Every structure is written in structure tokens, then in C-alpha cells.
Structure 1
Amino acid sequence: MKKIINNIKGNYKLVIAVLVIGVLLGLVFSGSSDKTMTPSNGIEGHNHESEDPTTWTCSMHPQIKQDKPGKCPICAMELIPLTTMQSSGDDVDPNELVMSESAAKLADIQTMKVQFGVPEKSVRLQGKIHADERNISELTARFGGRIEKLFVNFTGQTVRKGEKLATIYSPDLVTAQRELLEAISFKSSRPSLYQASKGKLKLWSLTDKQIEAIEIKGEPMLYFDVLSPISGTVTMRHVAVGEYIKEGTKLFEVVDLSNLWVMLDAYESDLPWIKMNDKVEFTVQALPGKNYVANVTFIDPFIDAKTRVAKVRAEVSNTNQLLKPEMFVNGSVKSEIGKGLNKLLIPKSAILWTGKRAVVYVKVPNRETPSFLYREIVLGPEAGSFFVVAEGLKENEEIAINGVFKIDAASQLIGLPSMMNPSGGAGSTPHDMSKMDMGASIKSKTLKGDSKSVDEKFKSQLTSVYKAYLNMKDGFIDSDADKVKKTARVVKEDLNKVDMALLKGDSHMLWMKELPTLKKSIGEILKFDNIKKQREAFVTFNQVFYNAIKAFGLNKVTTYYQFCPMANDNKGAYWFSNSEEIKNPYYGEDMIGCGEVKETIK
């Protein structure tokens, strides 16, 4: 033993080196065993997942939240960690919404760069043909007498300038002529008396030629002709043969129809886009296939208190007499108000409205995956399918123009700033999401026109309801309560024939939700005999019927969803039409042309 100790002392450097190598090898093998050993082989492992739990969600349906990976129960996409939908790192905004490439593609997210452009807008206007007020002549009697002859026997007769309209016998005029003949003898001695007698006849519309003929003849003329002052059409005849008239009595109205006025109704929102000399293109229903062009010559300085429109006037030549006063016209003005101006323009589809605020989502540059930031902007005037941006965006910034609502929904559910929650905040919890109506997402999708999956037989049945509805709408246009009730019965019958068993899942639930309101509205229309009460129920029916048509579609039908801001006590109301022409069912003939096409549904 003593010998061994002596040997160790002699080789202490070797012993120390062996011990160091042993410690290092122990550390290496110990680290390896930590990585490979699991609780199943008797060694307790290190569970990172338990220390940092991850919530998994769907990039397309953020309301889905689970504590483990899997597939989305709605769209079957692979769930992703919730943290990957939010920005991270020191160089990014914490309010960024990050989407995967697949999620952006499935949501059909489209973007564009904001650019300067010239604001343009085509303003659609309705109106009527009117006579040119400057070409209207009202003929009145300058002296009393009796109508001896009439050369115009009916209204609508065409006359030329200077043509005889009537012959009048006037005792007063005979007396005035005799005074003139007596004054002729005093022409040299009392010229003022002569001039006064002559002036009296001139005041009664006798010409110098007629007065000279009286002087030459030396006898008074018993009958005098009423001559037309212009060439045109007799639109009013107020007298008959043998009728006694007094001074100032209306005799005839003659209108020159060779030039006419086109009087168009412009809403307040349209007026900023219309200016003098703008070109107006219009058509007349009575003359299909014929287009007219005129220029704006007058814009009414006042807004009508009842209709809330201003009159815009254009003048058109009518030498062939095809256009008639009171004809309805549909016109459009291509505004050039922005000519020569460059403004930032963005499409309407990029904007989310919250009443007072307008919101867009700006794409963050230099990101590997699509990232968006919520931004509030200030809008200028509407320019067709675009809006002018007054504040909030710069040229070449990239914004989302399609799928914007889906981006906003995702932002709201994970607590980022959104349209309804601009300050941000915690999103809905998994427990809250379990209580949500899952049909809402399906409804949102179908209301955007995704009706391809709807049974064709159901579409045909809904189309039958729509065709019956058009007849009922015509009853409202005619303000005929009995016709409305008669046609409403057909709508009710066709509505009862719609087989909801043809719909499945969420579509079935959506129809069940809308059907009671449709039936209730039709029931109220059938209940009332008063057209005003019927129209109140018609307002509700149209709102719900729109949801159904957008959700399920119609069979080979194009319909026009139209709007009148004056209807429903100035709250505005909608209706459907099979034509772009405006025929207002809420006012009938009183305001037949009040309204505009809001949407075309094919």
C-alpha cells in the first residue's frame, strides 16, 4: 500500500489529467442522456410545452381556438399557433396582423398601391322633357268684343307666325277708329290730338299698316284678326265662337316646340360633380335605341324642400318634333369637375365604414408573410367606384382592396385595433366562441353572392316568389291598394310553396330565420286596405327579401335593387325591379322618378 501511494505521488500530474478528462466526459454523456431520456425509461424529462402553453387557431376562422394542433372544424385547414398571427420582434409594430400565405390566398386578399389620378364620376339622373319657357306666347284680348270666327278649333294645332287665330268684333275699337278719322281733319292744327288717337289704337295691338289702311279707307274696320306672334303649337284654347270677351281675357297659348328643355333631378350628393356646359347623354323610353346629347345650361340655385333635389337643365333641338313635353328621360353626366387635378384615389371595396370613421388596412412592406396595419383615413368626395383620400394615406402605400372584412374580423378576435374596436383589446375567449352562432359565418359568405351550392329547385321556387313580387310592386307604383292585396296573395301562395327541405345545414337555418318576417310582412300587406299602411309593411319585406336573394340567388334573372331616400318618412327604403328605369312604388305618380339603382344582382 505504501508503495502504491509512493507511485501516485511520483505520477501526480498523470492522475490529475485523468481526473479532468473523466469530469469532461461525464458532462458530455450527462447532457446527451438529458436529451434522449424520457419518463418511460425512469428518468424525468423536461416538458417545455407545459411551461409555454400555445393556443392554436385557424387563420381563416380566428374564432376557433384550441389548446393543441389539429384541423379547423369549419374549413379543415391546419391550425396554426395564435402567436404567428401577431407581430413580434423589436423592429415591427405590435399591432400588425400577420397572415400565412395560404390563409391570404384562401381569403382572396388582394392589394393595390395607392396612386394619384383624376377623379371622375358618371352621375345618373332622371327627369322629364319640358317646353322652353322662353318660347311660350300667351295671347290675351287687348279690347272687349265678340268672337266672330275661330281659325283654331282644337289644341295641338300647328300655326305659323302671323297666321289668323280668330276674328273679333269690338264696338270699342270701332269708336276709337272714328275718333282717329275725326282727328285727321285737325292733323295740321292740333297734331297732338291726332297722335293721341293713333296711339290709342297702337295700344290695342293695331299695326301701323292697319292704321294707315283705316285712314286711306276713311271708314272704320268692323272686324279685327288675332294673329299668332310665333310659329308653334296651340296648347290652350280658352274661347269659342260667339263668346263675349273682356279686355285681358285669355285667348290662346302658343308654344314653339322646335327647342325643348330637359329638366333632370339631381340629388344633393350629385351637385358637386355637375357644372355648367357639362355634356348630358340621355335616352327616352318612347324612342328606344336613340341617344341624345345636350349641354348643361342651368343649375337650380335652390333645393326643393319636398323632393330634396335640384333641377339641372339642358337644351335640345327638336326640329323633327319627335320629343314631346312630359316624356320621361334617363340621363347621365360624365363629370369633368376634376379635370386637371391629381388626387389620391382608392376603390370603395378597400374601405370599411363605421359611421363617422373610414378604415383601411395597409400592407406592411418587407415582410416574409402578408402583414397588415389598421389605419383610419379622411375621405374626400366620391368619384364613381373610387373615393378621393383627403388624409391618412401616401402615394405608393399598399392597401387591401378585397377580403378587407376578413382581415378586420381576424384583428378584432385577437385583440388588435379593428373597425369596431379602434383602441384594440382582448379578443374573444374560446369559451365565448363556443357560444357564437356558427351560422353567422356561413350567412356572411352567402350574402356576398356565394349561391352556387344552393339547390337549383329551391332557386326556381324563390324565383317564382320574385316574379309574383314584381306584380305586387306594380300595384304599389299604381297606388292601387286592391291590386296590391290581389297580387300579395299570389306572393304568399308562392312563398308557402318554397320547400326548405331542399336546403341543408346553415343555409336551412338562414331561410328559417328570414321566412317568418317575410310571411309576417305579406300578412300585414293583406291585412290593410290603406296603401300607406301597405307600404310600411312593404319596406320590411324588401329588407328581408334582399337577404334571401343575396344568400340563395335567382334562376336566370337579373334584378335591380333600387333606393329612394325620401321614402319611409325620409329614412329611405328599397325595392326590386326588373328594369333599371326608376318607378318609385312608395310615391307612385307623385314622385315616380325619385330613386336610383344601388345594386345589380345577376
Structure 2
Amino acid sequence: MKRYLNILFLLVAIAVAACSVEEKTHAEGETEYTCPMHPQIVQNKPGACPICGMDLVPKSVHGEGIEITEDLAFLLKPTNTTVVANITTSKPEQKSVESAVQMDGIITYDPRRVYSVPARVGGRIEKLFVKYNFQPIRKGQKLMEVYSPDLITAQRELLYLVKSAPEDEQLIASARQKLQYLGATNEQINRLIRSGEESYTFALYSPYDGYVIDLNAAAPEATASMAPAPAASSGGGMDAMGGSSAATAPSTAPTPPAGQAIQLREGMYVTVGQPLVRVVNADQLWAEFNVPAGEMKALSKGAPIQISFPQLPGERLDAKVDFFQPFFDEGENFAKVRVYLPSDRKQVMVGQLVSAEATYKTEPALWVPAAAVLDIGTKTVAFRKMNGVFEPVAVTTGARAGKEIQITSGLKQTDTLASNAQFLVDSESFIKVNN
């Protein structure tokens, strides 16, 4: 009997030990171990963290331990995944937009309305009626009275033919034409024929309306060319009236180029072809604007422009582009754009600074936020999302419109971009662009 009891106790002990080992094995199989510093490291047995070397701790022991909440689950994500997931992205949009170009310019003359009145005959100025710069003159207004031997000789020839050969109309017409070539008007010629006496001083009239410019802008310099040549002999009386003798022929004065001052004084000698006055007709003016080279293609002839005047707040003038200067001025990177101003704008003056805005509609193209493009000096880049990370890609930009910029190459409409290209940039960053 005692033997049977010992066998029974032995069987019970073995069964209890087997259950304990099974329970322990089962418990070890369900326990997960993790690193306190790197929650993404999870193992089903104790050990060391492969990243920092710390001992792993149980995640849950018999249902007790760390509770994985929603906030904790967010922290358990890898750091780069968290950063990338929080970057705002956008896609290029294919569209056509209204854009504008800001320009600065100045009001200037229309060169076609700047006239030069040359001397058709040489002689001495006896009376001068145009004496100061910006003096207004009208067409037909007397400019000066000139003593000219050539004009005296031509008058005498005409009077002689009218008196001695009135029937020879061809010769009379030729004599009249000669006077006209010397600057005489038909009214002066008819008055000469009626009076029958030549005039020793001949009046010169303005053929244009406008304002006198470049007149006596600087003090005249005393030169030998302003005085007549000395008489070669004392017998040059009638020859001098005919202009054939050197006794009365003044030396040739240099002709001032356009834009330089013209000196006129009573008693001065003028030569054939010498500019007497320059006249500007300000009824039609131009506005010339500088357009940056990168925005030249955006504008075309006929594009609408709205001109504003800094000294006249709220004043606007609608005009259109009329002409593009076909070259750049030396040292400048701007194209010149010319705009005609309406002739009724009396408050507009030459030399006045103005600004303008030219509007245009772009061709269909890809547009992205301007902040999505970064200029790194040698290239312009955008950050494109590829396989969960952002990589820089070189792009070519075009026009700007508000907070958007045009992309001409480097991106596709299906690409995903970082809306703000500054997210990876700091004072020590160096962006490597593969393309």
C-alpha cells in the first residue's frame, strides 16, 4: 500500500512540473521586448538594442506594462517618416494665367518731330528774333534778318529779267526758283517784283511750330572762324555783292552735331548748311520704358500698358506698346519699349519719370507656388518626392504671376513637390542635383 502511495505522489509531482514548464514556455513566447530609447526595436526574447546597446525591457508582462496609445503610436514611427509626412506638398498645374510686367521709364521727344532749320545762304545776321532757349515759335514766324550778297545778286537778276524781258517766262521762272532755293518765300518774291527794288536784308522764317532748343546753352567761344576773312584787295565792290570775291566770303564755321548748343548772335556770320535753330514739336511725345531681358518675350507689339505718374497719384493713362528697340544699350541688360502718348495729355512733359504695368496672358504651361522653387546661385531647384523622400531636381523657370511661377522644364504634371523649398536649407547645407 505504501508503495502505491509513493508512485502516486511521484506522478503528481511530474505532472505539476510539466505544467509549470509549459506555462513558463508559453509566457516567454508571448512576451515582447523593446528598447526604451528606440521603440521601433521589438524582439520576442531579452537582449541588447542593436542601435544603442541598452538592455531590452518587456513590453508587456502578464497583461501589464506599456499601453500603446494613439499618441505613443505616432512616436513609435521612424523620425524621417514623421518629418516627410508633415511636409506640405503640391503638384504642378497646367494652365494659362494673367501676368504683368512692371516697368520704369521717362517721357521723351518724338525724334520725327525734332526739326533743324539750316541756313540756305551764307551771310551776316543783322537782326535776331529768336534769342533764348525754349522760346515758342509758330510756322511762318520771322527768325532773323540776314545780309547776304548771294541773295542780293539773285534779286537783281530777277528784277532785270522782269524789266528787260517780260515775255521770257522761262527765264523769269528760273530766276524765281533760284531765289526759292536760297530761302525766299513766294510772298517775298512777289513783293520784290511789285516794289522793283532789291532788299539788302532778307528775312528768314520758321517752317515749323514748336519750341526752340539747344540755343545759346553755353557761352560762345571766341574763334577765328566767327570773323570774316580780310579783304584781298580794295576793288571788290560789285564782286562782293555778287558773292564771287574772297573779300566778303566768311570762313566756314564748324557745324554743331545734334544735341549740342547752337550759338547765335547779331553780327555773326553763318554759312550754307549751318543749323540756325532746332525746333521741337511737343504735340506728340513718347514714353520709353526699360524691360528686363528675362521678360522680353512676354510682351509684344500692341500689348496694353497702363502708365502711372508718381507726381499725379491716382492718374492713369492707357496706351499700347508700339516699338521694341532691336538691340541692347552698352552695359545694360534692358530692352527699350516705346509707347506713344495721346496728344491731348497736356500735363505730360519731356523728362518726366513714369512707371507702367503691362498685362499679358501666358501660354499654357506648368505653374507651381513660387516658394516651391529655390535659387541656389548656379541652378534653380525644386524638391520632388520620390519613394518617400524628397530629392532636389533642377528646373527652368519662366514668368511670375503673384505667388506662382512658371516652370518651362524639369518637372511633370504628375510630380509631387514640397510646397516650401526651404525646408532642407540651412546655413551649412549643400544641395546636390543629379540632373
TM-score (norm 2): 0.68
Give 1:30 shift. Answer: 2.5
- In 2, the alpha carbon distance for the partners of 1:232 and 1:119 equals 45
From the superposition, tell whether residues 23 and 408 of structure 1 become closer, same or farther in structure 2 (CA, over 3 Å).
Answer: farther
Residues 1:281 and 2:306 are matched in the alignment = yes
- In 1, the alpha carbon distance for the partners of 2:32 and 2:408 equals 64
Q: 2:122, 2:148 within 8 Å by CA — same for their partners in 1?
A: yes
Residues 1:30 and 2:25 are matched in the alignment = yes
Residues 1:253 and 2:267 are matched in the alignment = no
* Pairing 1:154-173 to 2, within 5 Å after superposition: 154-173=132-151
- The CA RMSD over aligned residues, in Å, is 4.0
- In 2, the alpha carbon distance for the partners of 1:303 and 1:226 equals 42
After TM superposition, the structure 1 stretch with the greater mean CA deviation from structure 2, 172-181 or 388-397, is 388-397
Percent identity (aligned): 26
Q: SS where residue 27 of structure 1 aligns?
A: helix
Counterpart residue identity of residue 204, structure 2: V
Aligned to 1:568: none
Structure 1 segments unaligned to the other structure (5+ residues): 9-14, 39-44, 56-77, 87-96, 366-370, 424-602
Q: SS where residue 196 of structure 1 aligns?
A: helix
Aligned to 1:383: 400
Aligned to 1:507: none
- In 2, the alpha carbon distance for the partners of 1:206 and 1:354 equals 71
Aligned partner of 1:347 among 354, 369, 384:
369
Q: Which has the larger radius of gyration?
A: 2
- In 1, the alpha carbon distance for the partners of 2:89 and 2:187 equals 81
* Pairing 1:84-103 to 2, within 5 Å after superposition: 84-86=78-80, 98-99=82-83
Q: 1:375, 1:392 within 8 Å by CA — same for their partners in 2?
A: no
| Bigger strand fraction | 2
Q: 1:128, 1:326 within 8 Å by CA — same for their partners in 2?
A: yes
From the superposition, tell whether residues 254 and 23 of structure 1 become closer, same or farther in structure 2 (CA, over 3 Å).
Answer: same
Give 1:378 shift. Answer: 2.8
Aligned partner of 1:297 among 305, 319, 322:
322
Counterpart residue identity of residue 394, structure 1: K
After TM superposition, the structure 1 stretch with the greater mean CA deviation from structure 2, 309-318 or 253-262, is 309-318
- In 2, the alpha carbon distance for the partners of 1:395 and 1:140 equals 66
From the superposition, tell whether residues 356 and 174 of structure 1 become closer, same or farther in structure 2 (CA, over 3 Å).
Answer: same
Q: 1:351, 1:360 within 8 Å by CA — same for their partners in 2?
A: yes
Q: 2:392, 2:432 within 8 Å by CA — same for their partners in 1?
A: no
- In 1, the alpha carbon distance for the partners of 2:276 and 2:264 equals 6
- Per-residue CA deviations over 1:520-557 (Å, capped at 9, x if unaligned) read xxxxxxxxxxxxxxxxxxxxxxxxxxxxxxxxxxxxxx
- Per-residue CA deviations over 1:485-516 (Å, capped at 9, x if unaligned) read xxxxxxxxxxxxxxxxxxxxxxxxxxxxxxxx
Q: SS where residue 332 of structure 2 aligns?
A: coil
Higher relative contact order (CA 8 A, sep 6+): 2
Give 1:117 shift. Answer: 2.1
Give 1:188 shift. Answer: 4.4
Aligned to 1:181: 159
Aligned to 2:380: 358
Aligned to 2:208: 230
Counterpart residue identity of residue 395, structure 1: Q
* Pairing 1:154-553 to 2, within 5 Å after superposition: 154-184=132-162, 185-186=164-165, 188=167, 191=170, 193-237=171-215, 238-319=263-344, 321-336=346-361, 338=362, 341-362=363-384, 371-384=388-401, 385-395=403-413, 397-402=415-420, 404-407=421-424, 420-422=431-433
Q: SS where residue 317 of structure 1 aligns?
A: coil
From the superposition, tell whether residues 358 and 236 of structure 1 become closer, same or farther in structure 2 (CA, over 3 Å).
Answer: closer
Counterpart residue identity of residue 50, structure 1: C
Residues 1:47 and 2:46 are matched in the alignment = yes
- State the number of aligned residues: 351
Give 1:135 shift. Answer: 0.8
Aligned to 1:460: none
- In 2, the alpha carbon distance for the partners of 1:100 and 1:208 equals 91
Aligned to 1:149: 127
| Bigger helix fraction | 1
TM-score (norm 1): 0.51
Counterpart residue identity of residue 310, structure 1: A
- In 2, the alpha carbon distance for the partners of 1:259 and 1:206 equals 30
Give 1:310 shift. Answer: 2.9
Counterpart residue identity of residue 227, structure 1: Y
Give 1:23 shift. Answer: 5.6
Q: 1:120, 1:383 within 8 Å by CA — same for their partners in 2?
A: no
Q: 2:122, 2:272 within 8 Å by CA — same for their partners in 1?
A: yes
From the superposition, tell whether residues 308 and 32 of structure 1 become closer, same or farther in structure 2 (CA, over 3 Å).
Answer: closer
Give 1:270 shift. Answer: 3.0
Q: 2:392, 2:433 within 8 Å by CA — same for their partners in 1?
A: no
- In 2, the alpha carbon distance for the partners of 1:329 and 1:36 equals 80
- Per-residue CA deviations over 1:3-57 (Å, capped at 9, x if unaligned) read 97xx99xxxxxx9xx999986774344221566799xxxxxx94355246599xx
- Per-residue CA deviations over 1:181-214 (Å, capped at 9, x if unaligned) read 22344464583x4343222112112233433333
